[in-house]
């Protein structure tokens, strides 16, 4: 006798709301697969998550993107990872650097175009490069009725965070990747960008400069801080010479200690009265000796380390 459980389908299941069709896992998957097939036929860009990195049997590197549970294979040559030309002569070093970049991108959103489908196995081969070039054409080169492209200087746009390091965030802005350095991320002292920005999130950036010759040759410069605004200017009014404030050490460079005061002010300490040496993320007591209005920075001395960040 056949197993009755295995023969169940959505029409044989009696549900509480008899007017509503019950979507099974299989029927949902069928709908998504149909959507992917349509995207393949119409060359529509799909957006998925970069979920894995693998090596094929021949040793080639592939990226794995997931679109609603379906796995799309993207060869590393189709990921549009641009490296300096000096790495190109050494394949071993090139593969290592590509792998490192992909590792940093894990968890980010990426666009891709479906390049091939195998319906029996429901496997997908895709290209991020083709999707990025298509978006570049639409957003940087095509012009609207007023003769201006969608992405232009001084426009605020949404960008994807695709990688984050201590002093830089790598963002993808409509098909173009660009690094945003820590000094352009915030007016506040920022010791580690990884504490504020995360792979996979969307952020608002202001376009500072665009150079667009053709889809292959486009560069963008952008910042985040001009969108957020500088609260330190207003906060500086709360800061008084000889005032003592709590703060956190954000960075140390060549003996200069950069402190973010709890009142929302950037401060620089050139000396420390505590016998211990201040370290990053230490909570400190700071006395203001001078206010540099031109740079909007308080200058002073660390009188005591309240709590060491060990």
Taking only the tens place, the pLDDT of each residue in 106-139 is 999 999 999 999 989 999 999 999 999 999 999 9
The pLDDT value recorded for residue 191 is 84
* Averaged confidence pLDDT in the chain: 89
- Model-wide pTM > 0.85: no
Do the strands 244-253 and 168-173 form a parallel or antiparallel pair, or are they unpaired? unpaired
The fraction of the chain above a pLDDT of 70, given in percent, is: 89
25 C-beta neighbours (distance < 10 Å), count: 8
Do the strands 256-261 and 61-67 form a parallel or antiparallel pair, or are they unpaired? unpaired
If you average pLDDT over residues 230-239, what whole number do you get? 88
The pLDDT value recorded for residue 232 is 81
Question: ∠93-175-83 over CA atoms, to 5°?
Answer: 15
8 pLDDT more than 80: no
Helix (H, G, I), strand (E, B) or coil at 74: strand
Distance CA 190, CA 182 (A): 7
Lowest mean pLDDT among 109-113, 190-194, 197-201, 223-227: 190-194
Helix (H, G, I), strand (E, B) or coil at 265: strand
5 pLDDT more than 50: no
pLDDT in tens, 256-278: 999 999 999 999 998 999 999 99
In DSSP terms, which residues pair with 248 in a beta bridge?
Answer: 260, 283
1 pLDDT more than 90: no
CB 176 within 8 A of CB 218: yes
If you average pLDDT over residues 66-90, what whole number do you get? 80
The pLDDT value recorded for residue 233 is 85
Please tell me which residue, 109 or 84, carries the higher pLDDT value. 109
The pLDDT value recorded for residue 18 is 56
């Amino acid at each position: 006798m056949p197993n009755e459980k295995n023969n169940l389908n959505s029409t044989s299941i009696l549900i509480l709301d008899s007017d509503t069709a019950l979507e099974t896992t299989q029927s949902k998957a069928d709908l998504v697969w149909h959507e992917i097939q349509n995207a393949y036929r119409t060359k529509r860009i799909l957006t998925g998550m970069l979920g894995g990195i693998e090596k094929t049997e021949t040793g080639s590197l592939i990226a794995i993107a997931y679109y609603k549970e379906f796995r799309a294979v993207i060869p590393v040559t189709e990921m549009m990872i641009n490296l300096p030309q000096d790495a190109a002569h050494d394949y071993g070093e090139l593969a290592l650097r590509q792998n490192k970049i992909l590792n940093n991108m894990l968890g980010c959103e990426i666009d891709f175009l479906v390049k091939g489908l195998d319906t029996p196995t429901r496997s997908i081969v895709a290209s991020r490069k083709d999707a990025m070039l298509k978006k570049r054409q639409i957003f940087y080169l095509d012009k609207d009725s007023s003769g201006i492209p969608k992405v232009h200087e001084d426009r605020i746009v949404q960008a994807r965070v695709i990688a984050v390091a201590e002093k830089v965030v790598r963002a993808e802005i409509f098909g173009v990747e660009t690094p945003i350095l820590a000094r352009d991320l915030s007016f506040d002292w920022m010791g580690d960008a990884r504490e504020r920005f995360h792979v996979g999130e969307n952020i608002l950036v202001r376009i500072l400069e665009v150079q667009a010759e053709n889809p292959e040759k486009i560069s963008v410069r952008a910042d985040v801080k001009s969108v957020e605004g500088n609260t330190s200017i207003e906060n500086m009014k709360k800061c008084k010479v000889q005032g003592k404030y709590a703060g956190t050490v954000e960075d140390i460079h060549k003996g200069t200690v950069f402190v973010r005061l709890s009142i929302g002010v950037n401060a620089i300490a050139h000396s420390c009265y505590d016998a211990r040496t201040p370290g990053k993320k230490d909570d400190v007591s700071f006395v203001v000796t001078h206010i540099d209005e031109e740079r909007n920075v308080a200058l002073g001395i660390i009188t005591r380390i309240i709590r060491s960040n060990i």
